[in-house]
Amino acid sequence: AQSVTQPDIHITVSEGASLELRCNYSYGATPYLFWYVQSPGQGLQLLLKYFSGDTLVQGIKGFEAEFKRSQSSFNLRKPSVHWSDAAEYFCAVALYNNNDMRFGAGTRLTVKP
Amino acid sequence: NAGVTQTPKFRILKIGQSMTLQCAQDMNHNYMYWYRQDPGMGLKLIYYSVGAGITDKGEVPNGYNVSRSTTEDFPLRLELAAPSQTSVYFCASRGQGWTEAFFGQGTRLTVV
């Protein structure tokens, strides 16, 4: 079955530490891949996306993500986390020949001072 | 440029009542979506539309209806509200091709 999995429900990191949020997908073909961030009480904002080409993509706010076809993964990273990065992060996938976008369950990030 | 606008932001309904969640976008996008967000469950697709007059079911359509009479508007209708429909509802839109989807601020609905 097609699915998007974010294995970590909640992650806590110290400010200044590095961050990696995991995303795995299960689709017959390589989907389009997205990471969104949601601050409390807000809508979702796109951080970055992957369609094709270079497997390391850069996004806003210093985030990057790497697509690994062999692992069906699209993990989000940031070298040094800021307190303002505390939010919920969603991985999403879409298929070229499909019209909808499916989301993972989300990972809530807490940043310790 | 307002983007995607959802109204209302908050609403409390009694069991069995009906209501319509409004969604409007001013980006001339063909594709529009309704999601519900429950804690720990991420966003689940309720309905989507690929253009005026065309709608289709998503993962969790039961208890909801939609219409798309114009490109701009995509209202979501709850006919007989149930406690299980307590959730945060997000509307989104996107243009042709898989560019990013733009989201509204959400509607927090409580059914009591």
What does the pLDDT look like over B7-36, one tens digit per residue?
999 999 999 999 999 999 999 999 999 999
- Look at the block and give the residue holding tokens 């079955």: A1
pLDDT of res. A97: 66
pLDDT of res. A90: 95
* Residue A59 C-alpha, separation from nearest chain B C-alpha, in angstroms: 13
**pLDDT of residue A98 exceeding 90:** no
DSSP type of residue B39 = T
- Beta strand extents in B39-86 (DSSP E only): 42-51, 54-57, 64-66, 76-78
Q: Which residue has the higher pLDDT, A29 or A60?
A: A60
pLDDT of res. B39: 80
Give the separation between CA A38 and CA A111, rounded to whole angstroms.
Answer: 15
**pLDDT of residue B99 exceeding 90:** no
pLDDT classification of A58: cutoffs 50, 70, 90? very high
CB pairs under 8 A between A and B: 52
3-state secondary structure chain A: CCEEECCCCEEEEECCCCEEECCEEECCCCCEEEEEEECCCCCEEEEEEECCCCCEEECHHHCEEEEEHHHCEEEEEECCCCHHHCEEEEEEEECCCCCCEEECCCEEEEEEC
**pLDDT of residue A14 exceeding 80:** yes
Chain A contact set for B45 (CB, 8 A): 100-102
pLDDT of res. A35: 96
Comparing alpha-carbon positions, the chain B residue that sits nearest to A89 is B42
Give the separation between CA B21 and CA A67, rounded to whole angstroms.
Answer: 37
Q: B42-98 pLDDT, tens per residue?
A: 889 999 999 999 999 998 999 999 999 999 999 999 999 999 999 999 999 988 776
What's the first-to-final CA gap in chain A, in angstroms? 41
What lies within 8 Å, CB to CB, of B54 at 6+ separation is B68
User: Which one of A5, A34, A101, A103 makes the best mutation probe of the B interface by having the most chain B beta carbons within 10 Å?
Assistant: A101
pLDDT of res. B1: 59
Inter-chain contact A99–B31, Cβ cutoff 8 Å? yes
Could you tell me which residues are beta bridge partners of residue B4? B25
Inter-chain contact B100–A34, Cβ cutoff 8 Å? yes
Inter-chain contact B42–A100, Cβ cutoff 8 Å? no
**pLDDT of residue A1 exceeding 70:** no
Q: For chain A, give me the number of helices (H) and strands (E)?
A: 0, 12
Give the separation between CA B55 and CA A63, rounded to whole angstroms.
Answer: 35
